[in-house]
Structure 1
Amino acid sequence: MPSTSVAFFFGNLDKTLRTSLSVTGEKEKPEEEDTRRRRISQDEHHSTEDLLLPDVTQSSIGEEPVNTNLPQVDAGRQSLTRRDRVKWPPADDKQWEAFDDDLDKILEGTLIEDVDKKIAALSKIAYTVGKEWFGTAKADNKSNEQTTSSRRQREIETLRKEKSEASQGSIRRQTMKNSLDSLRLLNCSLLVLYPALLCLYWYLPPLQTILKGNDAISSAKSQDEARTLSLITNHELLLNSVPKSYNNGFIVYACSKDHSCGGWSDRLSGILSVFVISLITKQQFLIHHNNPCLLADFLAPKEYDWRYNSSNFVKTDKKNYVLLNRKSLRAKKYLSGEKNLTKYFKSHINLIHMNWDFTDVIRSRPHIGSEVPWITKLHFADIYKELYNYLFKPSETLSRALKSQIRYRPKTACAHIRIGKSPTIPNDPPRHQQPLEILWNFLDILDKNVYDIFIATDDDRVVKRATNRYPKNIVNTDGKIGHIDAILQRKNLDQQDIFLKMMMDFYALINCDILILTESGFGIMAAYIRNSDSGLYCWRGSELNPCSRYTIHHMFPWPVLAPPEYFPVERRVSQKIRKKGKSV
C-alpha cells in the first residue's frame, strides 16, 4: 500500500485515541491493552486479516455499511480459514494511484472512531476496496493445520516398519525352505516309486475295467434292492385282484395236442390273457397243458393251484374257444369291453386256446382300473414277472436237472440266438441273419477267469462254433435242440427231452449275469422274469445296444403283443358304454 495513506492514517492515530477516551470517560485497563498487543505478535500472520478484533462494527461509509462482525483470532489456533484472496496488481502498476486516492477519501470518515475500531476498519476497508477494484481469487478452504510428530515417534514408526519387513522376510524364507524340502521329498519318492508306476502303467487298463465292473455291480445291486421293495407292492396288487370267491364256472387256458400252441413265449402270453379274463369274469382259472407233454411235469404251482384234472369234468358242460392268431378277432369286442365278456364265455368249463398278449386291448376297457388294477399300473416286464412267480416254480424233475448243471466260474455271460430256419428246425421261418462275429467280438473281451459262456439257440451249428471258440468257458444244458410246437410233426424225437431242455435254457437265461437278446419272445420272456436289469443287451442290426426290461418292448414289439394292425389300442370307449356308466 502507498506510504501516503498509511502515514496519514497513523498520523491521526494519537488524536483519535484521545478523542475516544474523552468521549467514553473510561480508561482501559493495563491488562486488556497487553492482551490486545499480544494478539498481534511476531509469531502470527502478517496480513491485514491478522489486525481483526472481535465485536467491531463499521460505521456507514457513504451509502453502504461495512460489516465488521469478523471471527475472533485465537493465538493458539493451528489452522485458519481464509477469505477469498484479492488479486492485487504489481507494485509498479498505475492503478495504485487511483486506488490510493479512493482509499484516502474513505479513511477520512473513520477518524471519528476509537483506536480499536480504526485498526479494525483499516483492514476491512482496505480488503473491501481492493476487492471492488481488483476482484478476488477463490480461497483455498483446506486447513493449514499440520500434524507433526516428535523425533521419538518417528523413530518408533521406523523401528516398527523395519520389524514388520524383517518378519515378512522370515516368513518368505521359511515358506521357500518348506517348498524346497517338499520338492526334495517328492524327488526321492518318485525315484522309489518309479518301478511301481511303470508296472501300474502297463496294468492300469485291466484294473480300470475291473473297477468299473465292480461299480456297475454295486449300482445294479442297489437298483435291484430298491426294485425288490417296489415288487412287494406289485405282488400285493396282484394278490388283491384275485377273488376270494368265484362265480359258478371255470376259465381254462388250453394247450392241447388238437391245436398248435406256438412257442414258450406264445404260451406265457396266452396264460396271461386268459388269467385276466378269469379275473374280469370272476371265474376260477386253470391250465390244461399237454402239448407236447404235461406242464405239471416241469412246473409246479407256487401260490395258486392252476392244475386241471380232466377226470373231474367228465359230465360237465364245456366248450373250446380257439382264439389263436387272427381267430382271436372273434373276441375283440368282448375283450375291449364293447360287449359283455361273461356272455361270450358262458359255458361252465371254458377252454380258451390263445397265444397273444391282449394287455393293451384289455386296458381300454371301462373300469378296468378297479377290476384288475395291476394290469393298468404295472409295466409288461413286471406283469409277466409277477404272474410267473405267482403261478410257477420248478418241479422236482426240473429242479434236479438244474442242479446237475456244472458252473466253473462265478458269473455267466449268455446269449439267445434265434436263427429260425436251419437244418435243426427246417420248417421254421428264417429269423436272425446278422453275422455271429458281432457276438464273438463282444464275448472275446470278457475276462475268461470270471465268466462262463452259455448259448441258447435253435441251431446246433451256433453251439458248435461257440464250443470251438471258447472250449474252456462254454457250458451247455443237456438234451436236444428243438421247437416245442414242431416236435409233434417229426418222428423219433423224445418230447420230454426237448421240453426239458427248453425249460433248462429258459432258467439259465433268467439267471445270467450278462444276457444278449435277438428278436425272439423266448429271450424277451427270460429278460422280463430275470432278477436283474443290468448287463442286458439287445442285438439290433450290427450293434449290441444296452437295454433294460422296460425298453425291450419298444425294441422288439411284435414277438409278444397282439399285432396292432388287428388289435389297435382303443383309447376311447363307445358313447353307449359311457351313458350306462357301468362295467360290462
Structure 2
Amino acid sequence: MRSWILDWERRGRSTHKGVSMKRLEGQVLLLMVLSAFVVVVFINHVTKKDPVAVQRELSLRELKQLIKEQIHAEERYLSPEKQSQSKPKIQNDNVLREESKEKRKKTFTSLEKTESSHEITSIRSDASKKRYIVHLCDSTRACAGWGDRQRGVVAAYLLAIVTNRVFVLNMTSPCPVRNFLKPHKYHWEIPDSELAGKSAITVGGVRATDYHKVARFQDFNKIYNYDVIYLRSNSDLLNIIKSNPLYKKKIPDWANTYRHRAFKNGWEKLMTPTNHMTKRLNALLKGVDLLKQGDLVCAHVRIGKNAQLTNDSPNRNSIESVDALWDFLSPYVKNATRMFIATDSMEVRALARKRFGKKTLDSGGTIIHIDRQRKSGSACDGFETAILEQLILTKCHVLVVSASNFSIRGAFLRGTNDKLFMFRNATITPFNMGT
C-alpha cells in the first residue's frame, strides 16, 4: 500500500507538476490513508476481530477503491480539463489586470497628451486671442503734422496698455517712419500676416473726438469689441485715459506723472533714431559742446501759410515779427558756439543766416508740411527734415518754441523748463510745461 501511495504521489507530482496545491493534495491523501488505517484498527479493537477478518469485511480492494474514488474526485477537480478551464480564468484575470493596467497607462498617457494639447491650444488660443491697437497713418486719409502725430502715437500706446492690447505703429505717410526712427524698448512692428483674418474696426481721424468719451468713461474693449482697432488719432488722450476709473490701476508708472513727462517717457520707450539719423545729427552738431550750458541756442519759427507751404493753415507768426525774436536771441547767441533755427519758411532761414552769420546751423533740408504736401516728390525728404530738426531742438540749451506741437513736443523731449520760451505775436515769454 505504501508503495502504491508513493507511486500515486509520484503520478500526482508528474500530473500536477507546477500546480500550487500539490502539497495539500499529498497531505489530504495521507490523512485519508491514516484515517482508513485508524478505522481498521478501531474496528479490530471494537469487534475483537483479527486483521484478516477485518480485511474480509473492509477489504483492501474496497479501501483502495474508496481512496481511489476520492483521488478521482480530486483529480476531476484538478484535472487537466478543469485546469485548462481554470487557467484561462486565471489568465483572464491576469489579462484583465494587464489590460486594466495598460488601460490606465493609456488613459494617463491620454490625459497627459490631452493636458499637453490643452496647453498648446491655450498658448495658441492666447496667441489667436491677442488683440491689437494699431496707430494708423497711411496715404488714404489725413494724419496731421509731426507733433500731432507724436501725441497720438503715445496716447495709442497707453490705450493699448490699459486695454490689454498689443500696440502696433503703422505710419507710412509720406514714407515709412521706420526709415528714420526705430523701435527702442518696445517692439511696435509686426508682420501683416499676424492681423490677417481678424475682426477689425477703424476709429477716429484728424480732429475726430467721438472715441474720447469712450476712453474717458467706458470700457473701450466693450464698445469696440474687435480683434484689431485701427486708431487714426492725433489727440492727446493721456489725461483722458488716466481719468477713467476702469483704468486707474492699469496706468504704468511712466504715464503716472505730468503730461509732458508722460509723453517723454512713452515716446522714449517707443522710439530711437536710426543709425542714419544719428549720423546726420552728430554731423550737424559737430563742434557743439552739449555739456556746456548755453553752447547751443535754438528757436522754432512757425509761420504757416507761405511760399513753401501754400496750402498750410493761416499764419502763426508774421515774417515782420521775426526781428523781435532775433533781438531776444542775440545775447544768448553771443556766448554760444552755434545757433539753430527750425522753420517752415526758407525766408526765415535766410534772415537767420543774415543776422547771425557763421554761427547759424542750417540743416539744409527740404521744407514741406508732411501731411498737406505728402504727395509731392520731395515729401520723404521733408519728413526726414522734420524729424531731424526736432531732434536738434531736444539738445538745445536755450529754446524758443512757437505755438506749434512740433516744437512743444520737442520741448517735452528736451525735458526741462530751464531757458524755455514761447514766441508768439512778436513777443517772447517764459514757457512752463508744468512742474
TM-score by length of 1: 0.49
Partner of 2:138: 256
**Which secondary structure does the structure 1 equivalent of 2:144 belong to?**
coil
Partner of 1:142: none
- Name the CA shift for 1:397/1:362 in 2 (closer, same or farther; >3 Å): same
Task: Confirm whether residue 346 of structure 1 aligns to residue 346 of structure 2.
Answer: no
Task: Confirm whether residue 412 of structure 1 aligns to residue 296 of structure 2.
Answer: yes
Task: Confirm whether residue 321 of structure 1 aligns to residue 202 of structure 2.
Answer: yes
Which runs of 5 or more residues in structure 2 are unaligned?
A: 1-125, 290-294
Task: Confirm whether residue 332 of structure 1 aligns to residue 332 of structure 2.
Answer: no
- Measured on the aligned residues, the alpha-carbon RMSD in Å equals 2.3
Which contiguous aligned blocks of 4+ residues in structure 1 show a shift greater than 6 angstroms? Answer: none
Structure 1 or 2, whichever has the larger Rg, is: 1
CA distance in 1, matches of 2:359, 2:275: 28
Partner of 2:187: 305
* Structure 1 position 349, deviation (Å): 2.2
The AA in structure 2 aligned to 1:332 is H
CA distance in 2, matches of 1:510, 1:529: 6
* Structure 1 position 503, deviation (Å): 1.0
- Name the CA shift for 1:371/1:247 in 2 (closer, same or farther; >3 Å): farther
CA distance in 1, matches of 2:357, 2:148: 34
**Which secondary structure does the structure 2 equivalent of 1:404 belong to?**
helix
**Which secondary structure does the structure 2 equivalent of 1:472 belong to?**
helix
Matches within 5 A, 1:430-441: 430-433=314-317, 435-441=321-327
**Could you tell me whether the CA contact under 8 Å between 1:455 and 1:476 is conserved in 2?**
yes
* Structure 1 position 424, deviation (Å): 0.5
* Structure 1 position 444, deviation (Å): 2.1
Partner of 2:257: 378
The AA in structure 1 aligned to 2:208 is K
* Structure 1 position 356, deviation (Å): 0.7
1:471 to 357, 369, 377: 357
**Could you tell me whether the CA contact under 8 Å between 2:203 and 2:229 is conserved in 1?**
no
* Structure 1 position 429, deviation (Å): 1.3
**Could you tell me whether the CA contact under 8 Å between 1:260 and 1:485 is conserved in 2?**
yes
* Structure 1 position 549, deviation (Å): 2.9
Partner of 1:549: 433
Task: Confirm whether residue 395 of structure 1 aligns to residue 281 of structure 2.
Answer: no
Partner of 2:46: none
The AA in structure 2 aligned to 1:327 is A
CA distance in 1, matches of 2:399, 2:149: 22
CA distance in 2, matches of 1:247, 1:511: 43
CA distance in 2, matches of 1:318, 1:459: 44
CA distance in 1, matches of 2:401, 2:308: 20
Identify the structure with bigger relative contact order (alpha carbons < 8 Å, sequence gap 6+).
2
**Could you tell me whether the CA contact under 8 Å between 1:424 and 1:460 is conserved in 2?**
yes
Partner of 1:535: 419
- Name the CA shift for 1:390/1:406 in 2 (closer, same or farther; >3 Å): closer
**Could you tell me whether the CA contact under 8 Å between 2:302 and 2:317 is conserved in 1?**
no
**Which secondary structure does the structure 2 equivalent of 1:544 belong to?**
strand
* Structure 1 position 398, deviation (Å): 1.1
Deviation per CA, 1:389-441, whole angstroms, max 9, x where unpaired?
Answer: 11111112211221221544531110001100000101011232351111111
* Structure 1 position 489, deviation (Å): 4.0
TM-score by length of 2: 0.65
Partner of 2:338: 452
Partner of 1:495: 379
CA distance in 2, matches of 1:396, 1:517: 27
Which runs of 5 or more residues in structure 1 are unaligned?
A: 1-243, 552-584
**Could you tell me whether the CA contact under 8 Å between 2:207 and 2:234 is conserved in 1?**
no
**Which secondary structure does the structure 2 equivalent of 1:370 belong to?**
helix
CA distance in 2, matches of 1:326, 1:486: 15
**Could you tell me whether the CA contact under 8 Å between 2:394 and 2:410 is conserved in 1?**
yes
**Which secondary structure does the structure 1 equivalent of 2:170 belong to?**
strand
CA distance in 2, matches of 1:403, 1:259: 34
